[in-house]
Amino acid sequence: MNALYEIVPNISEGRDPNVVDACAGAVASGGARVVDVTSDREHHRSVITAVGTRDAVLASSVALAGVAAARIDLRRHRGVHPRMGALDVLPFVALRGAGLEDAARLARDAALAIWEAHRIPSYLYGAAAASPERRQLAEVRRGEFEGLESKIASPGGQPDAGDRAHPSAGAIAIGARPLLIAFNLELASGDLEAARRIARTLRGRDGGLHTLRALGLRLGPASVQVSFNITDPDAVPLYRVVELVRRLAAEAGIALRRSELIGLVPRRALERTAAYYSSVQDTGK
């Protein structure tokens, strides 16, 4: 049985459906099966989820990088989500018949193939990282597109594949990781500092839950969001994230407005959260 992988590319386009469709089409053209596309206007970002064999996801990644570079110009891009590339993030996830190190080798191969085909450099993160300081995506993307040239010119700032930034497509963060959940909670408030304070309290790199990554982002004048990557849904279930944010927001007199899942999630994560809230309703808590 062939090994099966998932790729979850994030592209820096969330407003033009023609560009998003072209990028999803590029993924399909390589042989991977596109199973979900989620776009966000405020983030100006889309997340494509696709699955396939090793050869298929590799070919799809190279095809997507070329189309994204041709259709997305970061010199004119403005959105609330951090980004450094037209194809900004490209994680590889082993689903069946392969492990994390297999996904890491695939990520490294993709970085080299994309540089050779399109002259777009890549930084490797997660299990594919060549050094401990590049394991975290936030560290790899620090400085964003606007800071790429100075970053590459600084000691230790060279990409892992390639030697210069692409003038309009920037650079790509390519990594290998286990399954994670991308999850956003919108607050009924325009208080950006409150959202950032909640993110700092909960995320692992600032002393919170070590499998949680979080950012506080502004969506509009009266709307802010805490955006999460839940890197171990078994250790930190969705309902726990919701209730922790609800408690911290309430301390500032703020209610939750809505929640949002980005892309696909493991079924067991939804079942566990549904069971929790059913239990809460049954006990009248």
The residues annotated with a catalytic role in the active site are: 81
Query: Is beta strand 33-40 parallel, antiparallel or unpaired with respect to 87-96?
Result: unpaired
List phi, psi (to 5°) of 151.
Answer: -65, -45
Q: What are 232's two structure tokens?
A: 């171990």
* Sign of the CA dihedral running 228, 232, 233, 237: negative
As a whole number of angstroms, the distance between CA 225 and CA 34 comes to 28
Contacts of 278 (CB under 8 A, 6+ apart): none
Whether the Cβ atoms of residue 245 and residue 226 lie closer than 8 Å to each other = yes
CA atoms within a 13 Å half-sphere pointing along the CA-CB vector of 57: 32
